[in-house]
Amino acid sequence: MCSCFTLFIVLYLLNMPDESFGEMFTSMLSVNQAVSAERKLIDHLIIYIEHEAQRLEDIKRFFSRVTSLHDGIYNEPSDPIANPIAAFKLVKRLKSEWLNVVHSTEAEENIKVLREDYRRMESSLPKLEDLRGAAHGLMRLQDVYNLHVESLVRGHFQQISDPVDFYKLSVSDMLSGDDCFLVGKVAYDLEDYYHSVLWFEEAVRLFRGTEWSPENEGTLEDALDHLAFSHFKTGNISHALSLSRELLLHDPMNRRVHFNVEKYEKLLNENLPATSSGLTLKRPDGIYLRTRNAYEQLCQTKGSQPIRREIISLQPYVVLFHGFVTQAEAKNIRKYAMPGLRRSVVASGMNQATAEYRISKSAWLKESAHEVVGKLDQRITLVTGLNVQPPYAEYLQVVNYGIGGHYEPHFDHATSDSSPLYRLKTGNRVATIMIYLSPVQAGGSTAFIYANFSVPVVQNAALFWWNLHKNGQGNVDTLHAGCPVIVGNKWGMFKNKNFHKVTCTAVTNIVHPKIIILSSSTHSPLVQILFKFFSYVQHNRTYTEEWWKPLLYILYFDLYNGCQWLLFFNILQKILFCLHPKKETHKSLELF
């Protein structure tokens, strides 16, 4: 960036101000083209330098010939005028040779060639607009990244608040006093004295220590003059005065500056208290002022990061949500769960029992336990679209694995009708989300045995999978196990979403309702009746296929919860509700 910037400035001097609209600053590709344009200019310049050197050589030769004559023949004690040859040559030199040297047009011809070469390239060179655009680009970086101008000038990217390079350029370059002067001038011309003060200050500082060079646009005096006026405009009159006084040391005859000094002195005498009170430079207001701070903050920091979803497997559907909890949340959850930790149990027949194949301690965390639990529930809903508020889901279960802690292959959903899950009337487990609350140095992956993959522990991530197919049957591919922890303290948190609620909008998710009926326990009398009912409506062409899906869904749902005749009529009623009132189809349907 910086080297290109210097390039623009060199060209600006050679280029007469051109108001045609430049566009070079709008893309880095054009900046690359400018690099090759300058290479060509360098080639032209070296030819010019060679010709000029040759010309000077010729002049020097003439000079040494004439001086040696004066050291020699005209120094003789004998009268040189007596030598007619010497006399002739003297007359000829004075009349002709000096004339030719003094009036030589060679210098003009050389510069003319250079200028013509330059003019031929002019269309491919940056315009004034480009120079201004590049200067604005630097000021934009300064503002948006809150850059310290003095460091930027030295080629370092440092924030005002933090004097450490947040980015190091591989090829570093610095800005000269004249570079800073031009940036300041762009701001100054727009009456943006906030930026002009900062950049002219750098220009003055750098000009003070260096010699003027022919390619420069500004001088120390120019910079002092502009800086003093910028300070005056921002209300810093005492500083405007001292800068103007410094300027007078370099340019004592400048009447305008003398006049300014008098004016500043007068102002200071009149109004001392007001001007000395803490002035702070204010950035000019942009068009997008309302969102500017937020925008700049987000350019400097990442803000609140989206949760990244990594699809681990499509069959079964297993995804990992990265950065699901923050470090602090994880710590809090561990802390809140600590007092409630008990040896983990497993479903065993109709009861729950501890088992060798599950070595861990666990605790249930209710929403009321801590606000973080409620926040996590909301987040789970956000990423999965599932209502996980109890009673539609189980409480969060925090698990801490012990030495060689593990959980041998198992399903999270119930695979038999006698499972205690059903006695709780919660329905089967649709999905599981497992949140990793700590890092584990070695071991502790979750292995999906039939699907043939395992997912290592990713701290603060959450692993999610569907236990059931869309038709409600258990997905055998979800057979999984918690691998033993080799080194580390594995903390996890589970949440199981149960089948508990049917909404009319959810019914379209049922893909193959017929399969449910045929594969379920068809000996149940309720199923028999409903099955007949479906066949009947299915064959009635006046009904669309869509309408009976909710019925099947509810039937299937009910199968899992044990059929009860009394509920049958209730169910039918709900079905009618689901089918008919269109305006209310999004209302949820609670069955139990």
Ligand X SMILES: *[C@@H]1O[C@H](CO)[C@@H](O)[C@H](O)[C@H]1NC(C)=O
Which residues lie near ligand X (CB under 6 A)? 231, 236, 239, 276, 279, 452, 540, 542
Q: Which is nearer to ligand X, 404 or 581 (CB)?
A: 581
* H or E stretch covering 163: strand 162-167
Q: Are strands 485-488 and 440-443 parallel, antiparallel or unpaired?
A: antiparallel
Least spacing, CB of residue 236 vs ligand X, in Å: 4
Which CB, 110 or 230, lies closer to ligand X? 230
**Least distance to ligand X from the beta carbon of 487, Å?**
25
Torsion angle of C-alpha atoms 162, 166, 171, 177, degrees rounded to 10: -30
The residues near 282 (Cβ < 8 Å, ≥ 6 apart) are 194
Whichever of 7 and 206 has its CB closer to ligand X, that residue is 206
Q: How far is the CB of 477 from ligand X (least distance, A)?
A: 12
Least distance in angstroms from the C-beta of 504 to ligand X? 20
Q: Which residue, 452 or 521, has its beta carbon nearer to ligand X?
A: 452
Residue closer to ligand X, measured from CB, 240 or 365: 240
E strand residue ranges, 221-297: none
Is the N-terminal amide bond of 550 cis, ω within 30° of 0?
Answer: no
Distance CA 357, CA 424 (A): 24
For the record, the structure tokens of 110 come out as 């050389």
* Cβ pair 409, 479 in contact under 8 A: yes
List residues bridging with 491 in a β-sheet: 400
Nearer to ligand X by Cβ, of 209 and 385: the residue is 209
Q: Kindly state the smallest distance separating residue 337's Cβ from ligand X, in Å.
A: 35
Q: Which CB sits closer to ligand X, 148 or 231?
A: 231
Question: Cβ closer to ligand X: 227 or 398?
Answer: 227
Q: b/e string for 486-507 if b means 16 or more Cβ within 10 A?
A: eebbbbbbbbbbbbbbbbbeeb
Instruction: Return the H-helix or E-strand segment holding 560.
Output: helix 549-561
At residue 443, the 3 state secondary structure works out as strand
Q: How far is the CB of 452 from ligand X (least distance, A)?
A: 4
Name the one residue in this structure whose structure tokens are 């983990």: 344
Minimum CB distance to ligand X, residue 48 (Å)? 43
Under 8 Å CB-to-CB from 510, ≥6 apart: which residues?
A: 470, 471, 516, 549, 552, 553, 556
Report DSSP letters for 197-218, one per residue: HHHHHHHHHHHHTS---TT-S-
Minimum CB separation of residue 514 from ligand X in Å reads: 19
- For 9-43, b where at least 16 C-beta lie within 10 A, e where not — what string? bebbeebeeeeeebebbeeeebbeebeebbeebee
- Shortest distance, CB of residue 138 to ligand X, whole angstroms? 20
Q: Which is nearer to ligand X, 195 or 231 (CB)?
A: 231
